[in-house]
Amino acid sequence: MSWGKNDQTPNPWGNLPSGGSGNNNQPPDFEEMLRRGQDQFKRMFDGGGSGDSARLIGIAVVVLITMWFFTGIYKIEPEEQGVILHFGAFHRIAEPGLNYHLPMPIEKVIKIPVTRVERVEVGTRTSVGRTTNATTRKVPEESLMLTGDENIVDIDFEVQWKVREPGKFIFNVRDPELTVKSVSESAMREVVGRTPIASALTEGRGSIELEAKNIIQHVLDKYNMGIDIVRLQMREVQPPDAVIDAFRDVQTARADRERARNEAETYRNDIIPRARGDAEKIIQDAEAYQQQVVAKAQGEAGRFISVYDKYKLAKDITRRRLYLETMEDLLKGMSKVIVDRKATSGGVVPYMPLNELKPKPVPAQ
């Protein structure tokens, strides 16, 4: 078939880049292709071919080729990126908007959502029916795990992830969702295997989630999957159903033990400071009595030394003064009758009723 008078090229669009040579990194110039197509179309009608049938076949071929080239126009949504495959091999990444690639089978586009967050469940399966609400089914072979203190715990969790590099996501792993699920289950078992059950059921859940998330991201980066782990959330953490009643009894006993311990500590905190205060008071009273007795003894010793010094200077006077002071102390509270010795001469004993000289108490009115 002849396409024109001096044109032996079977391709009406001229020399286009092919998969084996030329610049494969850039899409063809669309305006140049249209211009060449128009030129070929004009030459078919202007040149003297082999008849009307040849012209009609040529027109049909041109239309088909034109339509084939237009199939390379595609659109990438804002939440997507396009992976362009050149003869099945990764070629480039297409950004959101209207784009063009060489038609099939030369190039092909695979659209990958890069902002949508995907979810993988471990330990449960949630299914949503058309007419019913969501139903959840337990998967014990995934959720039952051994803790660091050799107890069994039932853990259901969810891993949220999204695509970071679409090229790696497509080519490096055959089933990304299954890989994320398997790695997540393995990482959770590793972390729970180092954690006591009491911590896993209470305050340790946050640290378990963070550590497992970091392990999952590290493993997926080693696999070069181009995936980011957004979040790991533990939905339910509890003992297995077969032993949950016994476990609750154990937890109740532990709570009772903790309450009794707190009450004992409260009593101890009350009685010990009080006993320490009483002991400190006794010690202070004893020290005060000691100081009092010592001071009194020192005073009496000083008084004795002072009297003894005076006695050495005037023994008779000191002896008499001591006698009078002693008698004064002895007779201070007694009724006394004074008899003058001189007045007793001649057998006369004068009497002076000193007691009557005291004023009589006035009776109360």
Instruction: Give the residue extent of every domain in the chain.
Output: 30-113, 118-127+134-239
Q: How far apart are the first and last CA of the chain?
A: 162
pLDDT at 4: 37
Nearest Cα neighbor of 219 from 174, 192, 182, 171 is: 182
Residues 6+ apart with CB under 8 A from 190: 212, 215
Nearest Cα neighbor of 155 from 168, 146, 164, 163 is: 146
* Separation CA 246–CA 68 (nearest Å): 72
Its CATH architecture, for the domain 118-127+134-239, is 2-Layer Sandwich (3.30)
Q: Which residue has the tokens 């339910």?
A: 236
* Separation CA 110–CA 108 (nearest Å): 7
pLDDT at 338: 64
Between 294 and 363, where is the model more confident? 294
**Confidence class for position 361, pLDDT limits 50, 70, 90:** low
CB 156 within 8 A of CB 235: yes
* Backbone φ, ψ for residue 67 (5° rounding): -65, -35
Residues 6+ apart with CB under 8 A from 215: 187, 190, 191
| 306-353: pLDDT as tens digits | 888 887 888 888 788 888 888 888 877 776 666 666 665 555 556 666
pLDDT at 357: 61
* Separation CA 146–CA 141 (nearest Å): 12
pLDDT at 98: 80
Between 163 and 34, where is the model more confident? 163
pLDDT average, residue stretch 45-69: 70
pLDDT average, residue stretch 188-206: 88
* Separation CA 189–CA 152 (nearest Å): 11
pLDDT average, residue stretch 85-89: 79
Nearest Cα neighbor of 218 from 186, 247, 255 is: 186
CB 4 within 8 A of CB 45: no
pLDDT average, residue stretch 202-222: 91
Pairing between β-strand 152-163 and β-strand 227-238 as defined by DSSP bridges: antiparallel
Is residue 270 scored above 70 in pLDDT?
Answer: yes
Pairing between β-strand 152-163 and β-strand 144-146 as defined by DSSP bridges: antiparallel
